[in-house]
Chain A
Amino acid sequence: DVKVTQSSRYLVKRTGEKVFLECVQDMDHENMFWYRQDPGLGLRLIYFSYDVKMKEKGDIPEGYSVSREKKERFSLILESASTNQTSMYLCASTLGQGATDTQYFGPGTRLTVL
């Protein structure tokens, strides 16, 4: 079974803090994704990565950056957290880039920025 883990289930930070969210997958998947999920909205893609040290902007990259130094690990960084970044953050991975490649999700990190 694919396992995707995220460093924290719940996180509370203050405005202006730098925040690191970590995601690790154990199935040698090529692709990794960071989404945020807000009530009434579909999952919105922040960044994704198709290979180590590669990153691509998603639909809402502003205020975020990412790092993929190792194949199994994909980090999301909030350089200076703001209250509008309070959200559920979901990490996902896929084996390849084909249409049938299922996304496997981590359990999510619920981030609150005060």
Chain B
Amino acid sequence: GQNIDQPTEMTATEGAIVQINCTYQTSGFNGLFWYQQHAGEAPTFLSYNVLDGLEEKGSFSSFLSRSKGYSYLLLKELQMKDSASYLCAVMDSNYQLIWGAGTKLIIKP
């Protein structure tokens, strides 16, 4: 079956760095997405990786290793507004998105 695993919850301190991991097993691979979802709101797109390596986008980076079925989202200089759930999703060979359950990130002052 197809499976996306990510931690349920993480806690970090304001100003720190946090790494949210995602591992996947899917039938085929056409890219991996990270979305941010604040409580009670719609998910919004953060990043897309299809090639191995690190993609940097200012205050966050996303990494992919296709051979290991692994990705991480690295959030730097955390602010309170970064408190949200972070959803990992993989596009399979049929171009369907398989979603992880999301990681709830709690930021403490």
Listed in ascending order, the chain A residues whose CB lies under 8 Å from chain B are: 4, 40-45, 90, 97-100, 102-108
A selection of 18 A-B contacts at a CB cut-off of 8 Å is: A4-B42, A40-B8, A42-B4, A42-B89, A42-B100, A43-B87, A44-B99, A45-B96, A99-B30, A99-B50, A99-B95, A102-B33, A102-B45, A103-B35, A105-B42, A106-B42, A108-B41, A108-B42
Q: Which 8 A-B pairs have the closest CB atoms?
A: A42-B99, A105-B42, A99-B30, A43-B99, A102-B45, A99-B31, A42-B101, A107-B42
> Which B1-34 residues have a C-beta within 8 angstroms of A?
4, 8, 30-31, 33
A45 to B87 Cα, complex, angstroms: 15
Chain B residues near A100: list those with CB within 8 A. Answer: 31, 48, 50
Chain A residues near B35: list those with CB within 8 A. Answer: 103
Chain A residues near B40: list those with CB within 8 A. Answer: 108
Quick one: CB contact mask for B61-105 with A, threshold 8 Å, 1 for yes?
Answer: 000000000000000000000000001010100011111111000
A90 touching B31 by the CB < 8 A rule? no
A90 touching B50 by the CB < 8 A rule? no
A28 to B22 Cα, complex, angstroms: 33
- Chain B nearest CB from A54 CB (Å) reads 15
A100 to B45 Cα, complex, angstroms: 11
A105 touching B91 by the CB < 8 A rule? no
Chain B residues near A43: list those with CB within 8 A. Answer: 43, 87, 89, 97, 99
Chain B residues near A104: list those with CB within 8 A. Answer: 45
A42/B31 contact (C-beta < 8 A), A102-B48, A108-B42 known: no
A42 touching B45 by the CB < 8 A rule? no
- Chain B nearest CB from A17 CB (Å) reads 24
